[in-house]
Chains A and B, each alone.
Chain A
Amino acid sequence: MLGRRGTLPLLVGPPLVWLALLFVAPLILIVAFSLRPESGVVNAADPWNPSLVQYGKVLGTPAFLRLLGVSALMALGIAVAATMLAYPLAYFLAFRARTRATLFLALLLVPFAASYLLRIMAWKLVLGPAGAVNSLLSSAGLISEPLDLLLYSRGAVVITLVYVWIPFAALPILASLQRIERSQLEAAADLGAGPWTRFRRVTLPLSLPGTLAAFFMVFIPTIGEYVTPTLIGGTGGIMYGNLIQDFFGRAGNWPLGAALAMVMLILTVVGVLIALRAVDLRRVAP
């Protein structure tokens, strides 16, 4: 049997190599491209003369920074909403579902069996002029004409992404709730704490690490989201990720796309670090 020293490289080695090849190396390439001064199509073999020209363009264009701010706010709202909606779901699975927990968990994961694009397109049908929501409102006599705002709007992007993320967000919360010792809740009850107090003083603090993990799991990828805004966001629902995707794809301007991506990455990492420092988990959860 291998000792501790022997197992460590075996456990950590493969994922480290994987990350180095598929995350660190591409990241270095992105940084290298972002420092190229050329605009438009660039041959990677061309001489590399590093410059901050592209960063100057990004930081000197208020519209780009505004859109980054809007995207961050949208991501924040989506992450908060998805986490808040996922929490009761996870709570039910952890404490109420009992023997049917596995069945409900499987049901929670059913949407993942369908393609992401298919689910987004389904929302297009739900929110469209002749979609389910408009039909319902119309048949109830609440509207005389279909509401255009439901589709091709920022609201449509938020609604759809909250839906998409809820099952993902529920999983880390569920894991943290399942780790809570029932004896701690019983002790709180013995000391006279009612259900609400037990939840507020015991369950919530102990599940906070999973809840925060769920929040960041939604927040971070949502800032750079571009597929959902492309399909159902319309011109008002465009997000910062759409600009990055456009520069790498349609415009073929990789240096500027790379600089846009790096600015987003740096600001997101800084924001997350500040948030984690502000919420000191060691104080709220043992």
Chain B
Amino acid sequence: MPAHNRIRTLFALSAATVLLLAACKGAEPQNLLVLEWSGYEAEDFWTDFKTANADAPVTFEFGISDADILAKMEAGSQADLFHFYSGWQQFYVDGGLVQEIDTSKLTNWDKVPDSFKEQGQVNGKQYFLPWDWGFSSILYNTDEVPEVTSWDALLNADYADHISMWNDGPAAVTVSSYIHGWDETTITADQLAQIEQEWIAQKPLNAFYWSGEYEDLCPAVQDGTVWVAYAWQGCYAAALYEGVPVAYADPAEGRNSWIGFYGISSKSDSYELALKFLDAKLADLTMSNVVNLFYYGAANQDVMNAIEDEVLIEAFGINDPSILENTNFTPPVTADQRSAWTEMWARVQAE
């Protein structure tokens, strides 16, 4: 090869290398870190993304509560995506911790009901992707307890030593608000003091406060230790599958309902990949796994419409057209309210 050709080739190679390096520098990292709840890292719950993006590693870090997940994000977590539940949306937006989701790039977005989409909006912008949902109500053993028609079954001394309340201050305030007919977003100091006394009186009635639905509560419901419990529908379905005589109450005050959301961190430099992840989270197989393996509701309505299993139909109240009319959706509350409620619950525990 003549010398001038060698020089030309060398020049071309150098230019190509520079262009390649520049392109690489501008490209998004092809990996994701997800701040999750323990258990959701199982591949069943992101299987569509795994299949379509086998070369994009996904790693997880974990939070143990909504407050813990918010604290981790506030503390500068490097997570690209985070998963939390109803009532905490505003904190992420106010803290500048989340970026808007470009839903035009989500192929499965049309499968999400508008009512769920609205729950993920703040200030008119779609910051959050609704993903899983469910009810909170009273799960009870029908052999031991007559039909439960009110949340006050949790405070009924007839079931002493066989009650299990969720170990959660805000949930305790919600239950008391339902029983008294109060608006939980406007609870006064006097009302909170009354709630505290009621839960202190209720404390000895519990076998235990449960923290993990499948770890603590479900086994105790299934072995007969617990007859009356604050529970999500997952534990109800699990007990039905085991043949345990249980029912899931439709209290006169209404059930509670909650939605799980994903948000993309404002610090994420993998936005496009994060969108692919969210889109795949809404895909049919992933969402079916949420329903069939975890007994949680799916934001993908096609999946919910396809449910044929009698236990799941019962657990989600699919045959009851009025179920949502009598359901209270978890409202947003302020940071000060949450702190006051958790401190109240700590005092209840300490008594």
Contact = CB atoms under 8 A, between A and B. Distances in A.
Nearest to A230: B211
B343 interface: yes
Contacts of A271: none
A188 to B, nearest CB: 51
Nearest to A243: B346
Contact of A129 (B95, B224, B346): B224
B143 interface: no
Interface stretch (A14-22, A63-71, A83-91): A63-71
B203 A247 contact: no
Nearest to A43: B74
Given A44-B75, A236-B204, A64 B67 contact: no
A57 interface: yes
Interface in B303-338: 335-336, 338
A252 B207 contact: no
A221 interface: no
A39 B340 CA distance: 9
A238 interface: yes
A67 B347 CA distance: 10
B68 A252 contact: yes
Contacts of B343: 39, 57, 251, 253, 256
Interface string B275-316: 000000000000000000000000000000000000000000
B64 A250 contact: yes
Contacts of B71: 41-42, 252, 254
Contacts of A151: 225
A252 B70 contact: yes
Contacts of B208: 152, 233-235
Interface stretch (B27-35, B103-111, B161-169): B161-169
B339 A238 contact: no
A226 B203 CA distance: 18
B55 interface: no
A224 interface: no
A84 to B, nearest CB: 30
Contacts of B338: 40
B78 interface: no
Contacts of B86: none
B75 A238 contact: no
Most chain A beta-carbon contacts within 10 A, residue among B67, B223, B345, B351: B67
A63 B351 contact: yes
A145 to B, nearest CB: 12
Interface string A246-283: 11011111101000000000000000000000000000
B350 interface: yes
B342 interface: yes
A128 interface: yes
B204 A43 contact: no
A130 interface: yes
Contact of A251 (B65, B74, B223, B225): B65
Contact of A253 (B203, B211, B224, B342): B342
A253 B75 contact: no
A183 interface: no
A148 B346 contact: no
Interface string B91-119: 10001000000000000000000000000
Nearest to A248: B68
B136 interface: no
Contacts of B207: 148, 152, 234-235
B59 interface: no
Contacts of B168: 250
Contact of B68 (A42, A63, A148, A249): A249
B70 A41 contact: yes
Most chain A beta-carbon contacts within 10 A, residue among B75, B340, B346: B346
B223 A129 contact: yes
A141 B308 CA distance: 49
A238 B350 contact: yes
A152 B209 CA distance: 10
A178 interface: no
Contacts of A243: 346, 349-350
Contacts of B204: 235-236
A61 interface: yes
A242 interface: yes
Most chain B beta-carbon contacts within 10 A, residue among A130, A249, A256: A249
A255 B350 CA distance: 18
A151 B208 CA distance: 10
B224 to A, nearest CB: 7
Given A43-B75, A148-B207, A152-B208, A250 B161 contact: no
Nearest to A251: B342
B347 A63 contact: yes
Contacts of B68: 249-250, 252
Given A41-B71, A63-B350, A250 B65 contact: yes
A124 to B, nearest CB: 9
A252 B223 contact: no
Interface string A152-177: 10000000000000000000000000
A12 B210 CA distance: 45
A247 B346 contact: yes
Contact of B167 (A40, A130, A148, A250): A250
Contacts of A238: 349-350
B65 A64 contact: no
Given A57-B343, A151-B225, 10 more contacts: A39-B336, A40-B67, A40-B338, A42-B74, A64-B346, A67-B350, A243-B350, A246-B342, A252-B65, A252-B71
